[in-house]
Amino acid sequence: MNATKKRGKQSFVLPSHPVITTWASVAGKKESEGPLKNLFDVTSKDTYFGQKTWEQAEKQMQQIALETLAKKAGMKKEDFSLVYSGDLLNQCIGSSFSLNNCGIPHLGLYGACSTMAESLLLASMTVDGGYSDQVVAMTSSHFASSERQYRFPLGYGGQRTPTAQWTVTGSGAALVCSEGHGPRVESCTIGTVTELGVKDANNMGAAMAPAAFSTIRAHFEDMHTCPEDFDLIVTGDLGQLGREMLMELARRDGINLGGKVTDCGTLVFDLPKQDVHSGGSGCGCSAITLCSYLLGNLNSGKLKRILFCGTGALLSPVSTQQGLPIPGVCHAVSITGGI
Amino acid sequence: MNATKKRGKQSFVLPSHPVITTWASVAGKKESEGPLKNLFDVTSKDTYFGQKTWEQAEKQMQQIALETLAKKAGMKKEDFSLVYSGDLLNQCIGSSFSLNNCGIPHLGLYGACSTMAESLLLASMTVDGGYSDQVVAMTSSHFASSERQYRFPLGYGGQRTPTAQWTVTGSGAALVCSEGHGPRVESCTIGTVTELGVKDANNMGAAMAPAAFSTIRAHFEDMHTCPEDFDLIVTGDLGQLGREMLMELARRDGINLGGKVTDCGTLVFDLPKQDVHSGGSGCGCSAITLCSYLLGNLNSGKLKRILFCGTGALLSPVSTQQGLPIPGVCHAVSITGGI
């Protein structure tokens, strides 16, 4: 019997502190015009990434992210032991087609925009437990495939509400290993499905803020930490509006998050200049922000410790059409700088 | 640093042999008229399970499965530490809505019809590693929600091809613990995404057979086992036709699977009497077969060791309409009788 690594109701520690040795990001046109433009590994002005459809473009982005990750790690991609990945497309075809016939073991996830945190959490658990090594956490999203699937065809020219977020076109991948140099994962908190009645599919930030708050509070309780223990608490992706709601929920509960909270949806785009309304969204949003700016600054020592909180809205067009509210989920990963 | 539990390229062992202490199954009308009719915990003749839509019926089945599991385990469902679950519905709304606001940590999966094996594999890893305990693996599918989403509205009365399978209406849940009595999980093999060019969305068995063979062969190689070491090698769900293709692929590779191979899609329905053509399918198919017949017979000692091989077809209606082939995946879990 192993000693328990469980902490409190929702959290666990990773005694070996698995290392994120390498990370890679692929970004679309709009993303590569934003504040993080110089930090991405690969950028493209072609929305189709050389493919015939937007869905295949998303597959292509994941393939490029995986190949770039392998190159940066000095490996062949076939040498990765396991890939945890998922995306927003129906039946996650971005993820499954990107790994088609390449011989890498794959476990598929669905956590909506929380997928980068979910995959990193599971990759870290797998490596810490000794079940595998050199495990990849990966996800992607694409503005055009998401708009078509969740809302309207782009050609329809639908008006966007002020609360709307802009789905990031991009893919991020992180390599988790038992040895090496880089930022380290020390503990994780698994979210519960949380919903406070928000039904507006154009206001995802509001739908996800209660889940984000619930998980952040659980992390503090389970791990006996507080906001002061972190340089940043990074949600991904509540947008500007969702971030304000998170702050308000925390205030009402007597928790002062201070100036610690930032959001991948507001880091990845220049608000309001880039006209993305409340900010970025999509699995790719927190993925490319983590796999460029955040891991880069953790690695250089500029950031010492962050709580990376992936937030997902667990709706589908069908559930919305059937008048159901939007449940949210948030998974948190505590990452320390790599020294 | 933990000692590695990794074996070969795709497999790992679970030294503590986590116990499946409890299991529960919920089945629809057609399933409760089949060969396993006396083994299910809950059956219903109401396709809607008291709900307004088929999607909500699927949510309801998962809720009933979870409540039944808690009752059989002598627990409250709020006491479960973690639920790994997923389903076939777009954005897995069966799984997320079933756990809405009930306070149980949740990690969402997408593995198509391999989800029961994927969730059992991850639950076993989580418990063996000491990251959590009393972890649930769960999934569901519904004939009517699947037909509407993947093929045609039921009212259209589309003709079914002889290769077609019948999506099972049902949900299964298994509780994995570090201690207790019951069947035990000893090792797992994670599948790779495998595709040999099958494009016919009405012939899922053919699409998944190569993945099933690839994973079964990997399990034998990685774990130094052979078909003789198992009472049964149970795929879920290739159907009759897919099973024949699996046997043929094995024969060509010089592996004699003998009479060991059976399939959840042929166990759950009475073929050809129940007019399901090639057999059952859907996440619920292997879930209710495992969480009734298979775990029951392992527990009673009638079966000593099985290789449970969840098979998933990773297509979406969009990928099919865009003319793409159907990738498959298969995850295998080796389970011994509980003595």
User: Buried b / exposed e across B249-277, counting CB within 10 Å, b at 16+?
Assistant: bbeeeebebeebbbbbbbbbbebeebebb
What does the pLDDT average to over B250-268? Answer: 95
Query: Best residue in A110, A214, A223 to probe B by mutation, most B CBs within 10 Å?
Result: A110
Do the chains contact at B6 and A107, CB–CB below 8 Å? no
Question: B-chain residues within 8 Å CB-CB of A178?
Answer: 1-2
Strand partners, B319: none
pLDDT band for position B155 (cuts 50, 70, 90): confident
pLDDT band for position B3 (cuts 50, 70, 90): confident
Counted residue by residue, chain B has a size of 339
Question: B-chain residues within 8 Å CB-CB of A106?
Answer: 190-193, 329
Structure tokens at A42: 């690969």
Q: What is the dihedral of CA A141, A147, A148, A149, to 10 degrees?
A: 60
Per-residue pLDDT for A1 more than 50? no
Do the chains contact at A93 and B56, CB–CB below 8 Å? no
What is the model's pLDDT at position B157? 84
User: Buried b / exposed e across A144-168, counting CB within 10 Å, b at 16+?
Assistant: bbbbbbbbeeeeeeeeeeebbbbbb
- How do beta strands A184-189 and A11-13 pair? antiparallel
| In contact, A262 and A309? CB cutoff 8 Å | no
Alpha-carbon distance of A229 to B106, in angstroms, equals 26
Question: B-chain residues within 8 Å CB-CB of A104?
Answer: 192
Per-residue pLDDT for A166 more than 80? yes
Q: Please name the member of A105, A126, A316 whose beta carbon is closest to the beta carbon of B10.
A: A105
Query: Best residue in A96, A114, A118, A214 to probe B by mutation, most B CBs within 10 Å?
Result: A96
The answer, for A125 touching chain B at a CB cutoff of 8 Å, is yes
Q: Please name the member of B5, B56, B93 whose beta carbon is closest to the beta carbon of A129.
A: B5
What is the model's pLDDT at position A2? 58
Do the chains contact at B128 and A4, CB–CB below 8 Å? no
**Residue B205 Cα, gap to closest chain A Cα (Å):** 18
Please name the residue of chain A whose CA is at the shortest distance from the CA of residue B100: A193
Alpha-carbon distance of A232 to A295, in angstroms, equals 12
| In contact, A82 and A130? CB cutoff 8 Å | no
Query: Best residue in B16, B17, B91 to probe A by mutation, most A CBs within 10 Å?
Result: B91
- The gap from C-alpha B338 to its chain's centroid, in whole angstroms, comes to 20
Query: Best residue in A51, A56, A107 to probe B by mutation, most B CBs within 10 Å?
Result: A107
The answer, for A152 touching chain B at a CB cutoff of 8 Å, is no
| In contact, A95 and A142? CB cutoff 8 Å | no
Chain A from 285 to 314: CB within 8 A of any B CB: 314
Query: Best residue in A126, A131, A215 to probe B by mutation, most B CBs within 10 Å?
Result: A131
Average pLDDT, chain A: 96
What does the pLDDT average to over A329-335? Answer: 98
pLDDT in tens, A311-330: 999 999 999 999 999 999 99
Question: A-chain residues within 8 Å CB-CB of B86?
Answer: 110
* CB-count exposure of residue B224 (10 Å: 0-12, 13-18, 19+): exposed
CA geometry: angle B306, B61, B86, nearest 5 deg? 60
What does the pLDDT average to over B116-120? Answer: 98
Do the chains contact at B318 and A90, CB–CB below 8 Å? yes
- ipTM for the whole complex: 0.97
pLDDT in tens, A40-57: 999 999 999 999 999 999
In sequence order, what E strands does chain A have?
6-7, 11-13, 19-27, 42-43, 82-87, 106-108, 135-141, 166-167, 170-177, 184-189, 232-236, 261-263, 280-281, 305-313, 328-336
**Residue B265 Cα, gap to closest chain A Cα (Å):** 21
Structure tokens at A181: 């140099």
What is the model's pLDDT at position B151? 85
| In contact, B113 and B166? CB cutoff 8 Å | no
Per-residue pLDDT for B152 more than 90? no
Q: Please name the member of A16, A91, A131 whose beta carbon is closest to the beta carbon of B315.
A: A91
Do the chains contact at A327 and B55, CB–CB below 8 Å? no
Do the chains contact at B92 and A110, CB–CB below 8 Å? yes
Q: What is the dihedral of CA B12, A15, A191, A118, to 10 degrees?
A: -50
Query: Best residue in A90, A120, A146 to probe B by mutation, most B CBs within 10 Å?
Result: A90
Question: A-chain residues within 8 Å CB-CB of B317?
Answer: 90
Chain B from 190 to 209: CB within 8 A of any A CB: 190-195
User: Buried b / exposed e across B300-333, counting CB within 10 Å, b at 16+?
Assistant: eeebebbbbbbbbbbbbebbbeeebbbbbbbbbb
What is the model's pLDDT at position A124? 98
What does the pLDDT average to over B107-120? Answer: 98
Please name the residue of chain B whose CA is at the shortest distance from the CA of residue A104: B192
Please name the residue of chain B whose CA is at the shortest distance from the CA of residue A2: B130
Strand partners, A22: A175
Taking every pair of Cα atoms in chain A, the longest distance, rounded to a whole number of angstroms, is 59
Q: Please name the member of B102, B105, B195 whose beta carbon is closest to the beta carbon of A190.
A: B105
Do the chains contact at B192 and A12, CB–CB below 8 Å? no
Q: What DSSP string runs through A106-159?
A: EEEB--GGGHHHHHHHHHHHHHHTTS-SSEEEEEEE-HHHHHHHHS--GGG-PP
**Residue A159 Cα, gap to closest chain B Cα (Å):** 24
Please name the residue of chain B whose CA is at the shortest distance from the CA of residue A86: B110
Q: Please name the member of A100, A101, A316 whose beta carbon is closest to the beta carbon of B89.
A: A316
pLDDT in tens, B287-322: 999 999 999 999 999 999 999 999 999 999 999 999
Stated as kind and residue range, the H or E segment containing B85 is strand B82-87
Which 3 state secondary structure label does DSSP give A60? helix
Calculate what percentage of chain B has a pLDDT beyond 90: 93
Which 3 state secondary structure label does DSSP give B131? coil
What does the pLDDT average to over A2-7? Answer: 87
pLDDT in tens, B26-69: 999 999 999 999 999 999 999 999 999 999 999 999 999 999 99
What is the model's pLDDT at position B1? 45
What is the model's pLDDT at position A153? 82
Do the chains contact at B192 and A105, CB–CB below 8 Å? yes
Do the chains contact at B131 and A327, CB–CB below 8 Å? no
Per-residue pLDDT for B339 more than 70? no
Do the chains contact at A2 and B130, CB–CB below 8 Å? yes
Residue the block writes with tokens 């406070």? A196
pLDDT in tens, A55-84: 999 999 999 999 999 999 999 999 999 999
Alpha-carbon distance of A170 to B158, in angstroms, equals 39
pLDDT in tens, A249-260: 999 999 999 899
| In contact, B255 and B217? CB cutoff 8 Å | yes
- The gap from C-alpha A197 to its chain's centroid, in whole angstroms, comes to 24
Per-residue pLDDT for A10 more than 90? yes
Cα–Cα distances in Å, from A136 out to A21, A107, A175? 11, 10, 5
